Amino acid sequence: MRLYSDEAFILEVGDLSDADRFVAFMTRERGTQRGAASGAKRRFSRYAGQFQPLAKVKVTWAEKEGRELVRLRSVELLRPAQKLLEDLEGILLACYLAELVLVFAPDSEENEVIFRLLDSTVVSLLAGADRNLAGRYFEVWMLRLAGIFPIPRECPECGGSLEAGAVLPPSADHLVCGRCGSGAGGMKVDSGVIDLLIKIHRTSLAELALIEHDPNQLARLERLAGAVRRAFLQHELKSYEVMQRTLG
Ligand SMILES: [Zn+2]
C-alpha cells in the first residue's frame, strides 16, 4: 500500500454505502483520482463540509494495487467554493466544469495544465467573473488540451485565412474556411466568434473578464463548442443537459 498527499479539487461526491461516500478529485501531480471516504456520511464525520464541488483541498489517500478506488485518509479545506455555490446557476456551472475535467483529464496521470486551468478559472469565478464567459473559456481550453479543436489560425485544408469567418463541417473537430466547407451542411461561424476564440487562447480569463462580452456571441461560441464536444464524445455531458433543462 502506498500513501500520497497532494493539493486537489473536489469534482464529484456520491454515496457508496450507508456510511461511506464516493469522492472524485483532480490532483496537481497525480491527475484525477476516484476514492472512498469511510464514515463520511455519518453525522459527526471528520469530513463534514469539505466535499463541496470545486473546493480546493489537501488530500491524503492510500492506494492498494488491484483496488479500483483509493482510500481517503484526510481532507483539509484550503479554499472553499462557497461563493460559487450560493445559487442554483453557480452549482450547475460548478458541476459542469467538474464533469468536463472528469471526462477529458486522464485518470491518475499527471496533468498540471488542467489543474492550473481549473485553479485559475475557480479563482476568477470567486472574484466575480462573468459565469457565461468562464464557462466558454473553460470548455474551449478543455477541448484544446484534449487535442481537438485547435486555434483557428488558418484553414487546415487550403491554408486560407479564417479571420472573415469559418465553417465547422458535420462531425468535425476543427474549423475550415468558407470555401473548403461550402456545401457540406456545416455550421457557419462568424468572424466575431473566431476573434473571441483566438482571444481565449491568448489571454487569461482574469484579463478577458475585464471586458464586457456580447451574450449573443458567447451563445454562438457555446453552440460551436458543444457541437465539437458532442462529435468527439458521441454523447452530451449529463451536467450540461441538466443545466440546459433547468435554466432553459
Ligand atoms: Zn480552406
Over its length of 248 residues, how does the chain's per-residue pLDDT go in tens digits?
899 999 999 999 999 999 999 999 999 999 999 999 998 888 778 887 788 999 999 999 999 988 899 999 999 999 999 999 999 999 999 999 999 999 999 788 889 999 999 999 999 999 999 999 999 999 999 999 999 998 999 999 999 999 999 999 998 899 999 999 988 789 999 999 999 999 999 999 999 999 999 999 999 999 999 999 999 999 999 999 999 999 87
Judge if 71 and 130 occupy the same domain.
Answer: no
Distance 180 CA to ligand 1 centre (A): 4
Distance 184 CA to ligand 1 centre (A): 13
CATH number at residue 87: 1.20.1440.120
What Cα–Cα distance (Å) separates residue 109 from each residue in 31, 104, 106, 240? Answer: 5, 12, 6, 25
Judge if 114 and 216 occupy the same domain.
Answer: yes
In the Cβ-directed half-sphere of 120, how many Cα atoms lie within 13 Å?
Answer: 15
Cα–Cα–Cα angle for 111, 113, 119, nearest 5°?
A: 110
Please identify, among 63, 82, 101, the residue that sits at the C-terminal boundary of a domain. Answer: 82
pLDDT of residue 81: 94
pLDDT of residue 227: 96
Distance 227 CA to ligand 1 centre (A): 20
d(CA 85, CA 80) in angstroms, rounded, equals 10
Distance 175 CA to ligand 1 centre (A): 9
pLDDT of residue 41: 86
What residues make up the domain containing 66? 1-82
Distance 138 CA to ligand 1 centre (A): 27
Distance 179 CA to ligand 1 centre (A): 6
Judge if 110 and 228 occupy the same domain.
Answer: yes
Please identify, among 82, 99, 117, the residue that sits at the C-terminal boundary of a domain. Answer: 82
Judge if 116 and 135 occupy the same domain.
Answer: yes
Judge if 68 and 102 occupy the same domain.
Answer: no
Judge if 23 and 100 occupy the same domain.
Answer: no
d(CA 196, CA 194) in angstroms, rounded, equals 5
Distance 196 CA to ligand 1 centre (A): 20
Judge if 107 and 229 occupy the same domain.
Answer: yes
Judge if 100 and 54 occupy the same domain.
Answer: no
Distance 155 CA to ligand 1 centre (A): 5
The number of distinct structural domains making up the chain is 2
pLDDT of residue 64: 92
Judge if 151 and 245 occupy the same domain.
Answer: yes
CATH number at residue 12: 2.40.50.140
Distance 161 CA to ligand 1 centre (A): 8
pLDDT of residue 10: 97
Please identify, among 82, 115, 137, the residue that sits at the C-terminal boundary of a domain. Answer: 82
Judge if 171 and 58 occupy the same domain.
Answer: no
Distance 183 CA to ligand 1 centre (A): 13
pLDDT of residue 199: 96
Residue carrying C-alpha cell 466544469: 97
- Helices of type H across 105-168: 112-126, 131-145
| Cβ proximity of 188 and 175 under 8 Å | no
